[in-house]
Chain A
Amino acid sequence: GQSLEQPSEVTAVEGAIVQINCTYQTSGFYGLSWYQQHDGGAPTFLSYNALDGLEETGRFSSFLSRSDSYGYLLLQELQMKDSASYFCAVRGGATNKLIFGTGTLLAVQP
């Protein structure tokens, strides 16, 4: 089966840097993705890592270590609008089954 674990909540202040971790277990691995969801809204895609290392997209970066079954999302220069839930996701096995983590609620304070 597949499972992903994330911290339930993280709090940071505007302008700071925050890291949201994700550990996963899956029978097959086709990369780790990250999604953002504002309260009551639809999740939106942020980033994807298929290979080990760091991928940077503006203020957001995502890291993957396949040997450790671990990844993280790094948010820099935090803004109030970054307050949201963040989910990691994997597509496992030989199918298109797409599984999401438990989600991390990020609260950005002034």
Chain B
Amino acid sequence: DGGITQSPKYLFRKEGQNVTLSCEQNLNHDAMYWYRQDPGQGLRLIYYSQIVNDFQKGDIAEGYSVSREKKESFPLTVTSAQKNPTAFYLCASRIQGAQNTEAFFGQGTRLTVV
């Protein structure tokens, strides 16, 4: 079955540590996205990528980094520079250039700083 997978589902981080969230898709989608969601809030765009080896900052990129070495994978690193990293992180993918903006989401990673 095609889909998009995020791991781990829950992640605990000590202050000052970097952590990497995994996102893998087998939908053959070119475009991939990372969003942050805080309790009762909307989805805020962190980074997005339209093609392998290319990515752009979203609205809240500070303290985060990404890579896109393979079409299927778009990992997100939450660095120690991110002052308030506790949140629900969602990865999504969609067909490049399609008029329809349908995006497919992973089940999310809930990150907690302890």
Contact = CB atoms under 8 A, between A and B. Distances in A.
Interface of A: 30-31, 33, 35, 40-45, 48, 50, 87, 89-91, 95-103, 105
B74 interface: no
Contacts of B44: 100
Contacts of B97: 96
Given A45-B103, A48-B100, A103-B41, 5 more contacts: A30-B101, A42-B108, A90-B101, A98-B31, A102-B42
A30 B50 CA distance: 16
A97 B40 contact: no
Interface string B87-114: 0101010101101111111111000000
Contacts of A43: 43, 90, 92, 103, 105
A48 B108 contact: no
Nearest 5 Cβ contacts at the A-B interface: A42-B105, A100-B43, A96-B31, A102-B42, A103-B42
B35 interface: yes
A101 B42 contact: yes
Contacts, number: 73
Contact of B96 (A40, A50, A96): A96
B101 A91 contact: yes
Given A42-B105, A96-B31, A97-B56, A50 B45 contact: no
Contacts of A48: 100-102
Interface string B29-42: 00101010000111
Contacts of B103: 35, 43, 45, 89, 98
B45 A97 contact: yes
